Amino acid sequence: MRLILIFSLLLSAITASSIPARGQLQNDVLANKALQNLAKHTIWDEGSTEKCSIRNAAKRREWHTLSKTEKRTFVDAILCLSEKPSRTPLEDYPGVRNRYDDFVAIHMNQTSFIHQTANFLSWHRYFIWVYEKALREECGYKGYLPYYNYAKYASDPLQSPLFDGSDTSISGNGAYVNHTGLDIPNASVPHIHIPPGPGGGCITTGPFVNWTANLGPVVNALPYVEKNPDPAGLGRYYNPRCLRRDISAFVSAGWAKDQDIVDLISDYTDILSFQSRLQGDSKAGYLGVLSAGHWMVGGDPGGDFYTSPGDPWFFLHHAMIDRIWWTWQNLEVEERTFQVGGTITFLNNPPSRNGTLDDVLDLGIDGEAIMMGEAMSSVGGPFCYIYV
Ligand SMILES: *[C@@H]1O[C@H](CO)[C@@H](O)[C@H](O)[C@H]1NC(C)=O
Ligand SMILES: *[C@@H]1O[C@H](CO)[C@@H](O)[C@H](O)[C@H]1NC(C)=O
Ligand SMILES: *[C@@H]1O[C@H](CO)[C@@H](O)[C@H](O)[C@H]1NC(C)=O
Ligand SMILES: *[C@@H]1O[C@H](CO)[C@@H](O)[C@H](O)[C@H]1NC(C)=O
Ligand SMILES: *[C@@H]1O[C@H](CO)[C@@H](O)[C@H](O)[C@H]1NC(C)=O
Ligand SMILES: [Cu+2]
């Protein structure tokens, strides 16, 4: 009798852990705690131009909590952006064809100065906020940028409604293509080998099935992707091609689980170690939550360090990254909100000075330049949003 009880308890525990989206995620517990801390502080009354409070702050919500209508209006706004004319000068980026491409181009342009640098988190916070603003102001979107909590479907992201290929998804996996997977990075030991997943080819379902990636690739994850004709190797020329994905449970189950997120937030208490751990250490065989978010979808342009914003997935992923940083910051609001670490060159190579709050975050034609110090609080500077 007792044995049967234990056995069925065990069985239900196993079943529960394999059913996604059940039970409370510990990273949500931390985020809620962070929100309560933030509510107790009033720093948003100082730095911001308009009065921002928890009450009037925009609420960025998790994808799975959106209604079908809300999901669809978000998707429609992205499609709308891709039908508006671009603003990027064609002499700089001859391949831009639409307003969505403007966001890809500016990320490509600055890739070497916004990753593994002091401004990594703040630059991307500002970038996705300007994108959210464009969806709202130029395409009539009434909601805010949703985020995707990887932990909900870490054991198999293809089970998430985000990728189910329905009208209310961001399209599904790519068609199967036999390829060898990926080695990150190629030269270091131990390196990380990402085995090929069930995709690799063009997506075949959902709202983005006719999506065209125009820029890139620059660092090509899949050997059969059409090469960009840019003679400088910067991927700036017109290279229209389908959206390819290879959704990887190996990656998300390996590095984007609840525990990975919670450990990152809890165990790395200064900004430099936090942002380094987040971005991964492939030489140590550790991919990092940020890289895992990229590689769990992979493909082209999503798996390309430079042109990754070309897959609409990028912005749901980076909203989650921003939320992880936001959680980390607001667990110790006063100590952490304005912490900056790192230098102004990629992994400090070549060696450079430390980044400071006075450094400029420049989005070119996509947004006015602001100082890093203005992008440190989600309820200060130009921002007024929280994560719920
Ligand atoms: C970035 O854009 C500027 C022009 O806005 C251009 O001069 C520069 O070469 C570009 N850099 C890269 C790496 O694309
Ligand atoms: C994939 O390609 C490799 C190398 O060309 C081949 O050995 C293998 O049988 C192929 N696998 C499938 C499932 O087609
Ligand atoms: C990785 O490095 C090995 C050995 O240096 C080399 O033979 C191989 O071609 C490289 N692979 C890629 C994809 O660059
Ligand atoms: C994609 O394009 C085809 C051909 O123009 C069209 O029939 C189809 O409705 C389009 N699908 C979507 C989701 O836009
Ligand atoms: C840069 O910051 C590090 C700590 O992150 C510090 O040890 C170093 O002295 C700083 N360098 C300069 C030139 O201030
Ligand atoms: Cu980036």
In whole angstroms, what is the distance from residue 320 CA to residue 134 CA?
A: 19
* Count of domains forming the chain: 1
* pLDDT digit string, tens, across residues 248-265: 999 999 999 999 999 999
In a domain, 193, yes or no: yes
**Mean local confidence (pLDDT), 83-110:** 97
With a 6 Å cutoff on the Cβ, whether 272 touches ligand 5 is yes
Contact 154, 252 (CB under 8 A): yes
Q: Whose CA is nearest to atom 12 of ligand 1?
A: 109
In a domain, 55, yes or no: no
> Which residue of 92, 108, 346 sits with most ligand 1 atoms within 8 Å of its CB, as the best mutation to test the pocket?
92
In a domain, 54, yes or no: no
State which ligand 4 atom lies nearest to the alpha carbon of 206. Answer: 13
The ligand minimizing its distance to the Cα of 178 is 2
Confidence of residue 45 (pLDDT cuts 50, 70, 90): low
Does an H or E element contain 59, and which? Answer: strand 58-60
Count Cβ atoms below 10 Å from residue 229 Cβ, excluding itself. Answer: 12
Mean pLDDT lowest among 185-199, 232-246, 268-282:
185-199
Summary mean pLDDT of the chain: 91
Residue 336 has pLDDT above 70, yes or no: yes
In a domain, 345, yes or no: yes
In a domain, 104, yes or no: yes
In a domain, 42, yes or no: no
The ligand minimizing its distance to the Cα of 346 is 6
Residues with CB under 6 A from ligand 4: 207, 209-210
In a domain, 45, yes or no: no
- CATH number for the domain including 232? 1.10.1280.10
In a domain, 291, yes or no: yes
* pLDDT digit string, tens, across residues 298-331: 999 999 999 999 999 999 999 999 999 999 999 9
- pLDDT at residue 12, rounded to an integer: 40
Task: Tell which residue, 80, 77, 87, has the closest CA to residue 363.
Answer: 87
- pLDDT at residue 188, rounded to an integer: 57
Does an H or E element contain 109, and which? Answer: helix 99-110
User: Whole domain around residue 375: which residue ranges?
Assistant: 63-387
